[in-house]
Amino acid sequence: MQEIIFKCPINSLSFGNVSFNLMREMFKRDMTVAHFPIGNPDASVFNNIDKDFQEWLQGSINNRFKILRKDIPTLQLWHINGSENRITKDHYLLTFYELDSPTNIEKNLVDIHDKVLFSSSHAQKAFKSVGCRNTSSVPMGFDPDFHKTGKEYLKDKIHFGLMGKFEKRKHTSKLLKLWAKKYGNNYNYQLSCCVNNSFMKPEQLNSLIGEALEGQRYGNINFLPFLKTNSEMNELLNAIDIDLTGLSGAEGWNLPSFNATALGKWSIVLNHTSHKDWANESNSILIEPSGKEPAYDGVFFQNGSDFNQGNINTFDNDEVISKMEEAESKCKEENSEGLKLQDIFSYSKTLDSIIAEISK
């Protein structure tokens, strides 16, 4: 397949990163792509973009109506909510789903597509359980812009990292509180947090951080500003020894934790949802969920909504502390099994899987 209509965002968020990497693979294969952007395209985060690819990317937008034909399949990368509009008759949705209770409206929207490609086998099973038969799962890939720097960062310290939006779903507040209790103001340890949330005002975020830390200040907890480029994110991924982002309660893939693991870091991973597709006992420090709790936070997950209903997975605090202690000894050596994820999961393989599903 050499022609495709690709409706997707290009931005600094996870959807934008996946879109960018898939389009880069399409460029490498000299595919003809009509790119219908969702929102205003912003490729500034991809600061090492190849000039030829950049020109091709802009051309795929500028020439989209010249390329447009009704017999070209459309691939849309977006949420289920808002995916209902087709460009051509053959329409395929690539999407992320984290929870466990698809609503009737979500089911109806999934049913109208020729096929829905979920980013995890968990999501596919969740929709299959409510009667959706037009689904499959396609794993995500390792972003080749990330690489080992070979630098030494915090000598003689064990450096933890916590990334991703500040959310109840990701247990951000719980993890901050737990780490501070265990390691706060012990300067043999450092925690760097990149937990900005573009949907929150700065004062709201600061209030949540203050609440999580119970008004205390810790000299060894560092809150980073929004990282504007992938090069800056690459530095953070290289600087940390242990990732806590894998302790999120529900994920569609969890790119930060996956990328950290694939760079040879040790991630403590709650064994559920999409984590089961890439994390195992050899490449991660696994912890089994202790139970479930409603996902509703009154902000991103609203009880009774037509979308995003259900539960997230929880953990036992004492067990997490035990796993942090285990990680302290493991992080002295590189995670060789984690490095293998770079070859096991690539965006070339992701695109191969997508094309195979469209070609069926």
The whole-angstrom separation of Cα 51 and Cα 157 is: 39
Residues 269 and 192 in one domain: yes
Determine, yes or no, domain membership for 182.
yes
pLDDT of residue 198: 79
185 and 286 share a domain? yes
Task: Return d(Cα 115, Cα 94) in angstroms, integer.
Answer: 9
| 97 contact partners, CB below 8 Å, separation of at least 6 | 80, 118, 119, 120, 123, 126, 127, 252
| CA 174 – CA 190 distance, rounded (Å) | 17
pTM tops 0.85? yes
Does a structural domain hold residue 225?
Answer: yes
Q: Is the pLDDT of residue 1 over 80?
A: no
**What radius of gyration, in Å, describes the C-alpha atoms of the chain?**
20
The model's confidence at residue 308, banded by pLDDT at 50, 70 and 90, is very high
For residues 131 and 170, membership in a common domain is answered with no
Q: Are residues 218 and 302 in the same domain?
A: yes
Cβ atoms of 5 and 88 closer than 8 Å:
yes
Q: What is the mean pLDDT of the chain?
A: 96
Rounded mean pLDDT, 180-209: 93
pLDDT at position 193 is: 98
- Going by pLDDT thresholds of 50, 70 and 90, the confidence category of residue 201 is confident
Grade residue 299 by pLDDT with cuts at 50, 70 and 90.
confident
Are 27 and 169 in a shared domain? no
Total number of domains in the chain: 2
CATH number of the domain that residue 50 is part of = 3.40.50.2000
Q: Which domain holds residue 220?
A: 158-344
Which amino acid type is present at position 179? W
**Domain identity same for 117 and 180:** no
Residue 298 reports pLDDT greater than 90: no
The label of the residue with tokens 């789903």 reads 97
Residue 57 within a domain:
yes
Which range has the worst mean pLDDT, 54-63, 91-100, 272-281, 298-307? 298-307
Residues 301 and 351 occupy one common structural domain:
no
Identify whether 152 is part of a domain.
no
Q: Are strands 291-294 and 242-243 parallel, antiparallel or unpaired?
A: unpaired
The answer as to whether 61 is a domain residue is: yes
In this predicted structure, the answer to whether residue 300 has a pLDDT above a threshold of 90 is no
Nearest CA among 116, 66, 118 for reference residue 97: 118
pLDDT of residue 160: 98
- The number of CA neighbours under 13 Å toward the Cβ of 310 is 20
